[in-house]
Structures are given as C-alpha cells and as structure tokens.
Amino acid sequence: MSDARENGDRGKAHTDEAALSARLRRLDEGLGHARERADPASGGSREDRATTASGYAKGFRLSSELVAGVLVGAGLGWLIDRWLGTSPWGLIVFLLLGFAAGVLNVMRSAGIVANPRQNRD
Amino acid sequence: MTVDPIHQFQITNLMPMVTIGGQQISFTNSALFMLIIVGAVSLLFIGASAPAALVPGRLQSIAEISYEFVANTVRSSAGTEGMKFFPFVFTLFMFILFANVIGLIPYSFTVTSQIIITASFALLVFFIVIIYGFWRNGLHFLNLFVPKGVPIYILPAIVVIEILSFLSRPISHSVRLFANMLAGHITLQVFAGFIIMLGSLGAVGWLGATLPLALVVMLTALELLVAFLQAYVFAILTCIYLNDAIHPGH
C-alpha cells in the first residue's frame, strides 16, 4: 500500500515536472514573440515614441524647430549684412532660407520627410 | 495677495567668491542646486554599486535600469559605435533628469529652467559633433550638407538650407528643455497662486479653491512626466546628432 502511494507520488511529481517544463516553454515562446514585437519599435522609432507620448510635447517640439530655423536664418543674414554692408539683402535672402530650413526641420522631426541621414544604414 | 510666478527663477548670491576683471563670480542658488544634483546622482550610483550583488537590491535595480535604458537609447540611435559616447550621454541624461525632478520639490530651484544651462549643454553637444565629425571623417564630414540625388541647379540652395538647419539645432535643442521647464513651473505657480487668492476670500473662497488645488495636483503629475520625457528627449537628440558625426555619409 505504501509502495502504491509512493508510486502515485512519483507519478504526480513526474506530471508536475512535465507541466512545469511545458509552461516554461510556452512562456519562453511568448517572451520571444513579445521581444520581436517590441524590437522594431525600439529600433527605429524611439524618437517618435518620445515625441508622441503627449500631443503637447509634440506641438512644442515642432514649433521650436520652426522658430529655431527662422531665428538662425535671420541672425546669419543680419550678421552678413553687418560684415559685408549688403543691407538689407542678406537679411531678406537668409530669412527666407531660414524659413525653408525651419520647415525642413519640422517635416523631418514629424517624419513626413525621411531624414536621409537616418535610414542610411 | 498676489504671487509673483517669476520670482522662483531668481538667481540669488549665496556667497560672493572672487572678482575677475570686474565680473563678480559668486556661489549662487543655481550653483548650489547643481552641486546637490551632482551629489545626489553620485550618491545613488556609489550606493548602488557598493553591494555589487548578483541579485540586485532596490537601489542597484534603479541604477541598472537607468544604465540599460540609456545604453539601449544610445545603441538604437547611434549604433554600437556610438557607445563610446555613452558616458557623456548618460551623464547628461542623469543630470537633466535629477535637475528636473529636484526642481519639482517646493521651494527648490530648477536649474534647467535657466536657458544658459540648457544652451551650454546644447552647444557642448553641437561642438562635440563638429569636432568629432571632422576628426573622424575629415572633410568627408561636409557630405552631411550635400543630400544625394538632388539636381545640380538647386544644390546650392539646398546646401545653404541644410547648413542653416544644422546651425539651428542647438537652438531648438536647448529651447525645448528650457521652455518646457519654465512654462511648467509658471503654470504650477499661477494655479497655486489662485488657491491662495481664493482662500483669502473666506468660506466661499475655500470651496472655490478646491478646483485649482485639484488642478495643481494633476499638473504636478504631468510635470513629473514632462521632467522625465524632456530628459529623455534631450538624450535621444544628443544621440541622433552624435550619429551624424559618426556616419555623415548618405
């Protein structure tokens, strides 16, 4: 009788172990799938995730990009005018170019225009 | 009873030290908080790495998670070659994160709400990109400004626009962090001021003051998110710019 019980116990332990290893295998597969899903996200679009985390942050980001471009264009044009005495042409031309650079910045950071530097390798 | 929302950003002299060329150099509250930040970060990491346990404790987990987080960020946006800049990016990230979070404590000073601080960081990154880019790639670094596949007759305009876009980076890089911190703290202060103003009106005011109080609680939670997010955005932009220095070709 005691033998039978021992046998039963051993059998139970055996099935427990099998169930455990099966569960571990399933968990491992699940983890693999989860990693695959998470990987492309962490690979290319980390910047996107950071900026889309809140619309406020995104709006802020885009507006600062545009303003920075215009400011740099205007500043550079003003300096060129001062050094070369070409007033007001440097300011006019570089303000327009700066605006274009600002729009380019915005489109790049919004992901509308792919940044050639980023998807090169 | 009004509250000045700008007062919190005032720099005060705590200890005048030396005068160099008519310019007084003194120990200000900003410098004090920078020291506190550096001390807090150092304490965290010295304390975390002291046990060096295989199964990390709480402090060690925090240190390991932040290391992994920044390392993954650097690797995914600047490649494995960018890992030589890991100490730099990690230092920047931890300093800005601690500055933002410590700034949320009432009566403390937010170092990152001063544009001189964020602009210094952004210019540091900017010059590292330029110097390292030229040192590593030589004149090949200038390819950064010449996109491929552009017709020759509009190339001059494109090159100028690319250069302007490159020059505008430190501005947007620094203004983003600075303005987020500044705007967040002013908003918090204004709403907190409403509580005081309404509270001085008596019983009805006390009732009305619960509304701005609830808003301040929610705003504080939002600011905590922004504090982390802006440190992360600063770090990831640093990585993206460093990536340009490492691989300028198209």
Q: How confident is the model at residue A57 (pLDDT cuts 50, 70, 90)?
A: confident
Specify the higher pLDDT residue, A40 or A96.
A96
Q: How many domains does chain B have?
A: 1
Q: What does the pLDDT read at residue B231?
A: 93
Specify if B1 maps to a domain. Answer: no
> Which is nearest to B25 in space by CA: B14, B34, B38, B36?
B14
Specify if B2 maps to a domain. Answer: no
> Please, are residues B177 and B230 in contact by the beta-carbon 8 Å criterion?
yes
Interface test with B, best of A45, A105, A107, A121 (most B CBs within 10 A): A105
Q: What does the pLDDT read at residue A44?
A: 43
Query: How close, in Å, is residue A87 to chain B by CA atoms?
Result: 19
Report which secondary-structure segment, H or E, holds B200. none
pTM: 0.78
Q: Above 50 in pLDDT, residue A106?
A: yes
- Judged by CB atoms closer than 8 Å, whether chains meet at A116 and B175 is answered as no
> Residue B175: which of A46, A68, A116 has the nearest Cβ?
A68
Q: Residue B122 belongs to what domain range?
A: 7-246
Specify if B189 maps to a domain. Answer: yes
Nearest residue of chain B to residue A108 (CA atoms): B165
Q: Is B35 exposed, middle or buried (0-12, 13-18, 19+ CB in 10 A)?
A: exposed
Helical ranges in B148-202 per DSSP H: 155-167, 169-199
Specify if B198 maps to a domain. Answer: yes
Task: Split chain B (250 residues) into runs of 10 and give each run's mean pLDDT.
Answer: 74 79 82 94 89 80 91 90 92 95 90 92 95 90 85 89 92 91 90 86 85 91 91 92 81
Q: What does the pLDDT read at residue A121?
A: 40
Specify the higher pLDDT residue, B139 or A117.
B139
> Please, are residues B241 and B169 in contact by the beta-carbon 8 Å criterion?
yes
> Residue A116: which of B79, B148, B165 has the nearest Cβ?
B148
